[in-house]
Structure 1
Amino acid sequence: MPKNLPTQKETSRTPPEKPGKSSKKSMVLLKEKGDINLPSSNAFKSDQLDLFQTFLCNTHDEKDKLSNTIELWDSLPKFAISQQAMNGLRTKEGFLPRLEKTFVYRHKEYKIRVTPAIIDSEDDIDKAYYPSANEELVEDALRKIASEQQRGFFDKPEFKSGVVFSLHLLRTELKKRGHSRSYYEIVKSLNILSGSHIEILLPDGKGFAKTNYLPSLAAVSKEQIKDDPTAKWVAHFHPLVTQSIDSLSFRQFNYHQMMSHSTQLARWIHKKLSHNYTNASYTVPYQIWLSTIRRDSGLLEYKRTNDAVRKFEDALAELINNHALTAFSKLEDIRGEKNKILDIKYSLSPHPEFVKDVKAANKRQKDSKDKTEQQGQ
């Protein structure tokens, strides 16, 4: 078990109040949720966790750029709402309705239901928030931190996985990837992730999983963070992340490149291609319909198809600029009355760097499964 982890009692202690002015933002507390017992020492050295934290690369700098995509979990449109759309749905009392979205995964239709978190806002009025782009960045950063030894844990008997981190470490990780956030913004995102509930429904309508985005979060108060930004926190990941670690269905990908994209849609496409485009080759381009992206990402909900086309092609242009793709083309389109565009089929050509990343991910996944079979797991 890592050294200097706080006990449960230490995570909730409150330091003496210091004199001087304090903003309302500085008084926001990080709320503890769920089981806050620290993981056992064995959870930091399991075989599955070792495979999750071992990447196929040549140098430390290369490893620093890598993380894991997660089977099914990364396909959910669970962060697919903008702040503008959220503000439009929020009542004058600050509440939001339960959000429902439908998507297709492996040719089967699923539905998610998201119940927003209630957050103490800076104006002393409780407000509801859905997890959105900021929370997605924070969760991606936490998963990256979990890929480091003595940070991530996997408890197979209890079927739990998660990460030990500090606010300073999380803030540094986000800044390193081009997404600087204040302590207040990070605390707010952690509260939203630990307070928002997501239900995943199977194609037959039956419930598959019901829990919060971060089922458990042990943390210190905002006041203590000012005094000790290295104080340890413990967060448990969603059970689908745990399932992916257990079944070795995660995939290595260029996390640094994905985080370098400025738009949420470009990052979503990058993760989708990294996990699904396993035969990436310039001679085998990736073909996809605009309607598929609109449905599964939840990020192109425009009334006018032309607006969705523009946003999607802007995201593809960013992927080209950042060397994930080399080009894209339109193979065919479907039109309705008055020649109105209804759908477009695109062909995406991968960049040689992306092809190299996918080949490394394929070999790493094969090596991991071979090692597990040899161990008889």
Structure 2
Amino acid sequence: MENKKTLPLLNNVEPETCFDNQIDLFRFLLGNNYEERDKLSNTFDLWDSIPRYSTSRQAMVKIRKEKGFLPLKQITFKYRGRILQAHIQAARIIDKKTGQETDYYPSANEELVEDALRKLAADQKELGFFDKKNYTSGVVFTLYQLSTELQKRGHSRSYPEIVLSLNILAGSLIRISTTDAQEGEGFSLNPYFSGLSASSRKKLSTDESAKWTVQFHPLITQAIDVIGYRQFNYAQMMGQKNQLSRWLHKQLSLKFTFASLSTTFEMRYSTIKRDSGLLEGYALERQAIKKLDESWVELTENGVLMTHNKKEIKGERSKILDVVYILTASVDFIKEMKSANKRHLLVSEKREHFSKED
């Protein structure tokens, strides 16, 4: 394959080992035609359950003014019944023009860039790679390709903005640890992107055809290896204007796998607040609940849900203690879940077949 020769080396990754059956399974998106497959991508069970993009750029400005830097951020969340913690260390970026150093946590901008790169890896055979020997995965791309994908999904970004996001993702560290000792204790510490490199015969900042390479986080590599991902409507998710709506869409795609016209799915405000990290900072609880209500409206208007109802749990003096949301999936979402279930089964069977051949 000619594309193997153009793959830049990162962490001793050998180009000829970077194309594997696992990446072919990752690209196998179950749709009836190109238009349907173009809307699809993969969401990752554990990695997409970590509240790793929960601080807005506006909030960062406020913290910098108070402290002069961004401190280590700690978030506690629950994943499939287990209490986990994420510690996020901000990236320190140097402005080449001014020499000024600025701290950034990964935020909504970086989340969009990561999602777009994952789509490129799943969409185009010559871009995504999986290296079994060195246990890495990633994508080779140009700024033009990434910019075009973002623009196509309604999130246009300039090249400098994209490069800033790439550097933030490569420079930010995230430590994920267990705290409950249910199955022992452990942690992992890695950058959001395990590797980032670029090469050009011209000036990188102005060369839209320069080759860039990203190595994904090890949890993505592991998920690609063990089929820890699910097909979902990426185009619809990217079309949600609200970051919380996009987070909820991914969570529904991962958890509401049994969707049907006769079943509902319940989510609590307290759970969403804890596990998304996107409802902190409101002066009043009612303001955060209103923000969440707006996301349910957006998901319903955009065809993810058919209906959404809520039941407030109140204490003394009618104080709201929690809110239970009862969700009914749309007909289209039900079809998508059935296709995702079928695709997951087919991919698992093919993986087992490849394992026997090896």
Partner of residue 307 from structure 1, selected from 287, 295, 301: 287
Question: 2:36 is matched with which residue?
Answer: 62
Asked if residue 320 in structure 1 is aligned to residue 300 in structure 2, the reply is yes
- Structure 2 CA distance for partners of 1:349 and 1:6, relative to 1, 3 Å: closer
Partner of 2:50: 76
**Residue identity opposite 2:299 in structure 1:** L
Residue 85 of structure 2 is aligned to residue 105 of structure 1:
no
Question: CA separation in 1, counterparts of 2:351 and 2:11?
Answer: 31
1:288 aligns with 2:264: no
Alignment partner, residue 179 of structure 1: 155
Alpha carbons 2:193, 2:214 under 8 Å: kept: yes
- TM-score normalised over the length of structure 1: 0.88
Q: Give the Cα separation in 1 of the matches to 2:212 and 2:13.
A: 9
* Structure-2 change in CA distance of 1:321 and 1:105 (3 Å): same
Quote how far apart the aligned CAs of 1:123 are. 5.0
SS at match of 1:257: helix
Map 1:194-233 → 2, pairs under 5 A? 194-204=170-180, 206-220=185-199, 224-233=203-212
Question: How far apart, CA to CA, are the structure 2 residues paired with 1:220 and 1:375?
Answer: 35
Cα shift readout 1:282-319 (whole Å, capped 9, x = no counterpart): 21111011100000000011232111111101011111
1:133 lines up with 2:134 in the alignment: no
Structure 2: distance between partners of 1:249 and 1:119:
33
Match of 1:145 in 2: 120
Cα 1:39–1:179 shift into 2, 3 Å: farther
1:144 & 1:269 partners in 2: Cα distance? 19
Equivalent-residue separation in structure 1 for 2:11 and 2:207 (angstroms): 20
Give me the CA root mean square deviation: 1.9
Q: What residue is the counterpart of 2:352 in the other structure?
A: 373
Identify which range, 206-215 or 287-296, moves more after superposition. 206-215
Following superposition, the deviation at residue 281 of structure 1 comes to 1.3
Equivalent-residue separation in structure 2 for 1:251 and 1:123 (angstroms)? 44
| AA in 2 matched with 1:182 | S
CA distance in 2, matches of 1:90, 1:198: 20
For residue 219 of structure 1, give the secondary structure of its aligned residue in structure 2: strand
Taking structure 2 as the reference length, the TM-score comes to 0.93
Structure 2 unmatched runs, 5+: none
1: CA distance, partners of 2:234 / 2:167: 24
Q: Give the C-alpha shift of residue 3 in structure 1.
A: 6.3
Contact 1:320–1:326 (Cα < 8 Å) also in 2 = yes
- CA distance in 1: counterparts of 2:160 and 2:214, whole angstroms: 18
> Residue type of the partner of 2:59?
A
Pick which of 205-214 and 222-231 moved more.
222-231
CA deviation map 1:299-347 (0-9, x unaligned)? 01123211111110101111111111111001x3222332111201110
Partner of 1:20: none
Match of 2:245 in 1: 266
State how 1:17-56 maps to structure 2 within 5 Å.
35=10, 37=12, 39-44=14-19, 46-56=20-30
- The structure-2 alpha-carbon separation of the partners of 1:38 and 1:229, relative to structure 1 and needing over 3 Å to count, comes to farther
The list of structure 1 runs, each at least 4 consecutive aligned residues, that deviate by more than 6 angstroms after superposition, is none
Which amino acid is 1:73 matched to? W
In 2, the alpha carbon distance for the partners of 1:53 and 1:6 equals: 18
Q: Which amino acid aligns with 1:343?
A: D
The residue type paired with residue 57 of structure 1 is G
Paired residues in the alignment total: 349
1:353 lines up with 2:329 in the alignment: no
Q: Secondary structure at the match of 1:343?
A: strand
Residue of structure 2 aligned with 1:257, choices 229, 232, 236: 236
Which whole-Å CA distance do the structure 2 matches of 1:228 and 1:181 have between them? 16
Question: C-alpha displacement at 1:374, in angstroms?
Answer: 2.9
Deviation of the 1:208 alpha carbon: 2.1
Letter in 2 for 1:96: L
In structure 2, the residue corresponding to 1:251 is in which secondary structure?
Answer: strand
Q: Report the Cα distance in structure 2 between the residues aligned to 1:222 and 1:202, rounded to whole angstroms.
A: 45
Give the gaps of 5 or more residues in structure 1. Answer: 9-34
**SS of the residue aligned with 1:323?**
coil
Quote the residue 2:220 is aligned against.
241
